[in-house]
Amino acid sequence: MGKTISEKIIGEHAGKEVSAGDIVVANVDVTAVQDGTGPLAVQQLNKINLVQAANPKSTVLFIDHAAPSPHKDLSNAHGLLRDFAKKTGVVLSEVGEGVCHQRLVESYVKPGDILIGADSHTCTSGALGAFSTGMGSTDVAIGIALGKTWLRVPETFKINVTGQFQKGVYAKDLILYVIGQIGADGATYKALEFTGDTIKAMTMSERFTLSNMAVEAGAKTGLIEADDVTKQYLEELGRGDEFRYIQADEDAEYEKVFDIDASKLEPVISAPHTVDNVKSLNELMGTKVDQVFIGTCTNGRLDDLEIAASVLKGKQRHPDTRLIVTPASKQVYIQAMEKGYIQTLVEAGAAVMAPGCGPCVGVHQGILGDEEVCIATQNRNFKGRMGNPNSYIYLSSPATAAAAAITGKITDPREVLV
């Protein structure tokens, strides 16, 4: 019987053939924590006198969720991570370097790896053909110290997508549609494997958007085969020697198969307060918007900023609508400046923040007021997600978000796209 991508990678790291449902101990290639989860991991290792890192060069501590720090308690937490990095020699990604998930795909994860991270959106790296999954701080702490973890091999849902997107439809619309179909817990502890002609034609940036949000359907990971698009991406980053092809066997066994015709999709929005509360634009058109946020590990990459800039070029944000833009990494920020996207966005009235998570986590920068509405390109719209339980968050593609910035209300992006 053939193997899924998950079964292949986990089996390789466990040193034996595995199948869905097996529980194994597997070697880990990359481990990561961020400034919200990392301090607990460090404290646990201090508590059991295991202050060490099995693979310091591939263990990364990211200061991205509250960067720069908005108050002293978080500053002290950052100090704890900096001290641990000095003691163990692990990598520290400092304020302004960017969001952990973007930095991981840029610099650390390669096809065939196992990555465990103390953040639920660690699944982003699955777009590189790596088994990438979020875990609790203590589990990741042990992975840091010992270089291994235990896993239950997940069953896999195959998401087969064919056809071409219509104008104004993007990867974000696709993944929101998928989550709406599966449900917020419909794929709990499953692997989502995205395949089909539509996926093969996608850029890596688009693929990262899909894998990033797999967890919003409850999935353990979201995987895409490592192909020539992956190879080119790594080569452009100077990491071509780290590439290898990773794909499922033709006779792999899947628990479920979902067939989607991309040509029939339209722009959609996830309405408050759950990600699977997916609505057509027609149901929400005209909803007043107080704040637009473009960025995050979901849609803060270069082509996302390009899309937003193309919508906003020569226009101004609505006077009653704030516009916040946060590049996903320093590399993205520099490239966006070189291509003029940042200037276009600033001229349109955007406030551009340092690379990081920004308003998405509701810790600093862009916290909403009571009864305010935000349309954002992030991955979650839970009640209170952006710092105020008395506010409302809608999720969309960068094009739909940028359109709302111009009109001050939820708008069909196809009306403003040139």
Secondary structure in 3-state letters for 351-365: EECCCCCHHHHCCCC
Give the helix/strand (H/E) hosting 336. helix 330-338
Share of the chain above pLDDT 90, in %: 98
Report pLDDT for 36. Answer: 94
For residues 367 and 239, membership in a common domain is answered with: no
What is the pLDDT, as a whole number, of residue 103? 98
Helix (H) or strand (E) holding 181: helix 171-182
CATH number of the domain bearing residue 194: 3.30.499.10
Same domain, 14 and 38: yes
Share above pLDDT 70 across residues of the chain, in percent, rounded to a whole number = 100
The residue assigned the tokens 């693929």 is: 207
CB distance 268 to 353 below 8 Å? no
pLDDT above 70 for 179? yes
Q: Which domain holds residue 142?
A: 5-261
Q: Are 255 and 334 found together in one domain? A: no
Instruction: Report the alpha-carbon distance of residue 184 to residue 274 in Å, rounded.
Output: 8
Peptide bond into 273 cis (omega under 30): yes
1-28: pLDDT as tens digits: 899 999 999 999 999 999 999 999 999 9
Same domain, 239 and 294: no
Residue 274 pLDDT more than 90? yes
Mean pLDDT of 265-288: 96
Which position has the token pair 């304020």? 95
> Per-residue pLDDT for 121 more than 80?
yes
Task: Supply the pLDDT for residue 388.
Answer: 94
Average pLDDT value for residue range 71-94:
96
279 vs 274: CA distance, rounded Å: 11
Beta strands in 19-178 (DSSP E): 23-27, 30-34, 59-62, 91-93, 114-117, 131-134, 148-152, 156-162
- Listed residues 219, 241, 261: the one ending a domain: 261
Rounded CA-CA distance 46/134 in Å is 22
Q: Answer whether residue 45 shows pLDDT above 80.
A: yes
Instruction: Compute the distance between CA of residue 28 and CA of residue 116 in angstroms, rounded to an integer.
Output: 7
Q: Cα(295)–Cα(304) distance, rounded to whole angstroms?
A: 8
Average pLDDT, integer, range 392-407: 97
Residue 418, judged by CB atoms within 10 A of its CB (0-12, 13-18, 19+), counts as exposed
* Same domain (yes/no): 288, 159: no
Averaged pLDDT, 153-178? 97
Same domain, 232 and 314: no
pTM: 0.95
Q: Are residues 279 and 248 in the same domain?
A: no
What is the pLDDT, as a whole number, of residue 212?
98
Q: Write down the pLDDT at residue 305.
A: 98
243 and 295 co-located in one domain: no
Q: What mean pLDDT comes out for the span 256-276?
A: 97
Q: From residue 331, how far is each of 102, 231, 351 by CA, in Å? A: 10, 19, 19
Which of 211, 229, 261 is the endpoint of a domain? 261
84 & 223 share domain: yes
pLDDT at position 418: 63
Over range 303-332, report the average pLDDT.
Answer: 97
Q: Please indicate, yes or no, whether residues 207 and 334 belong to a single structural domain of this protein.
A: no
247, 287: one domain = no
- Boundary-marking domain end, from 227, 261, 295: 261
Could you tell me the pLDDT band of residue 416, with boundaries at 50, 70 and 90? confident
Count of domains observed in the chain: 2
Residue 86's pLDDT band (cuts 50, 70, 90):
very high
| 21 lies in the same domain as 167 | yes
Q: Which pLDDT score is estimated for 267?
A: 96
* The Cα angle at residue 296 between residues 98 and 128, in degrees rounded to 5: 75
Please state, as a whole number, how many other Cβ atoms lie within 10 Å of the Cβ of residue 371: 10
Mean pLDDT of 113-123: 97
